[in-house]
Amino acid sequence: MDFQYSPRVKELQARLNAFMDEHVYPNEARFHAEIEENRKKGDAWVPTMVMEELKEKARAAGLWNLFLPESEHGAGLTNLEYAPLCEIMGRAGWAAEVFNCSAPDTGNMEVLARYGTPEQQEQWLKPLLEGKIRSCFAMTEPAVASSDATNIESRIELDGDHYVINGRKWWSSGAGDPRCKVFIFMGKSDPDNPNKHKQQSMIIVPRDTPGVRVVRHLPVLGFDDAPHGHAEIVFENVRVPASNMLLGEGCGFEIAQGRLGPGRIHHCMRLIGLAERALEKMCQRTMNRVAFGKPIAEQTVTLERIANARILIDQARFLVLNAAQMMDTVGNKAALKEIGMIKVAAPNMACQVIDWAIQAHGGGGMADEFLAHAYASARSLRLADGPDEVHRNQVGKLELAKYRQTPKPH
Ligand SMILES: Cc1cc2nc3c(=O)[nH]c(=O)nc-3n(C[C@H](O)[C@H](O)[C@H](O)COP(=O)(O)OP(=O)(O)OC[C@H]3O[C@@H](n4cnc5c(N)ncnc54)[C@H](O)[C@@H]3O)c2cc1C
């Protein structure tokens, strides 16, 4: 086992860190100010100029599409190589998009790269890879418990050479952005199929198709995440060409398995960067404030929390690297347990570390925008891509399966 990053990864880490220092951190205030400015003018749902400027710079610097393993469209990095780079991007909640590596586009690009026809790839994957458009993934529905995706009720029905789509989705991340031009929509094409994992399909829905209506934007603990957002969307008699079907009718679950693997782990990688930054803030703040005769950092409880934060972050990082390596070597399906483990461990770790950082800042912690937003996003990732409980169930069942295969453990 080699714990060293490869020379190529070290070189990319250095360039990515330099880019973050030169272009991302100094522009954080401008990014948020632009959104507030747009909000004051009456519309926060417009792209910021700073994002488009930085995307050009990142692309020119060759820091672009670093995700996408096993594809000629990406940078040729494995999941293991991408993990420490994604971690760096995660240090600022808005940075991943600068490098065209943000959710849900990465997951959707993986779907199109892996399952799309040449025509679908030309129409949608190409502009996504160029960062010219954005996308959303519409699976979750308000009316049913969507953590069990067999419950999904939306319909995809064949009518001549078109499919007709009806349903209501919510938490469709990214749909608030006018650059979001395409949805990957999951619904039932064969609700009576006795195999409940063959009832679902995924289909491409261009955003401007008649019958697609964004009803409202859902806040995440009060943050609307404009201009990205999380939307509730009604699909009413939406007609798309039959050629928009992905992979084939009944393949929705198969695609979901492929899609959620890397996408899930990207969130985990970014959470490690976010938690690292929260810990840095915690250390800097508490070293410089004195209470009851000594720096807050040296009060035993703070010192313990700093130590525990370091332990939790490093544990999560090693679990992420292990899951990434499993995905590279045995595939997403065989790495199900490791993906489930990190999906539970990373957001819980980040919530805990950020919570300690907030506490260490005193009242200031409640007003610190970075910490507040970091907490909201880490907390939401205990639900997005499946709640903790569902992943724990899966990990638990896989653990028990070992004993079913070997009934008499020694
Ligand atoms: C910020 C954010 C962004 C999101 N982005 C997207 C997106 O882009 N696209 C999309 O389609 N969806 C998205 N989601 C939705 C997310 O994937 C769902 O919220 C999640 O899968 C849970 O589904 P649900 O909300 O219907 O909860 P339900 O299925 O109703 O579950 C509710 C609760 O029941 C409990 N529970 C469920 N199953 C079990 C079990 N087996 N054992 C024990 N307890 C259980 C859990 O505590 C769970 O939280 C996003 C959510 C958030 C918060």
**Architecture of the domain spanning 134-246:** Beta Barrel (2.40)
Nearest CA to ligand 1 atom 44: 389
Measure 62 CA to ligand 1 centroid, in angstroms: 36
The hierarchical CATH code for the domain 7-116 is 1.10.540.10
CATH fold of 253-404: Butyryl-CoA Dehydrogenase, subunit A; domain 3 (1.20.140)
pLDDT of residue 222: 96
* Protein residue with its CA nearest to atom 45 in ligand 1: 389
Residues carrying CATH 1.10.540.10, the chain: 7-116
Which residue spans of the chain are classified as CATH 2.40.110.10? 134-246
Is 80 exceeded by the pLDDT of residue 171?
A: yes
Ligand 1 neighbourhood includes 159 CB (under 6 angstroms): no
- Tell me the pLDDT tens digit for each residue of 251-286: 999 898 766 566 669 999 999 999 999 999 999 999
pTM of the prediction? 0.96
Distance 388 CA to ligand 1 centre (A): 9
Interval 5-15: pLDDT, tens: 999 999 999 99
Give start-end residues of each CATH 1.20.140.10 domain in the chain: 253-404
Q: For residue 262, what pLDDT is reported?
A: 66
Three-state secondary structure readout of the chain: CCCCCCHHHHHHHHHHHHHHHHHHHHHHHHHHHHHHHHHHCCCCCCCCHHHHHHHHHHHHCCCCCCCCCCCCCCCCCCHHHHHHHHHHHCCCCCHHHHCCCCCCHHHHHHHHHHHCCHHHHHHHHHHHHCCCCEEEEECCCCCCCCCCHHHCCCEEEEECCEEEEEEEEEEEECCCCCCEEEEEEEEECCCCCCCCCCCEEEEEEECCCCCEEEEEECCECCECCCCCCEEEEEEEEEEEEHHHECCCCCCHHHHHHHHHHHHHHHHHHHHHHHHHHHHHHHHHHHHCCEECCEEHHHCHHHHHHHHHHHHHHHHHHHHHHHHHHHHHHHCCCCCHHHHHHHHHHHHHHHHHHHHHHHHHCCHHHHHCHHHHHHHHHHHHCCCCCCCHHHHHHHHHHHHHHHHHHCCCCC
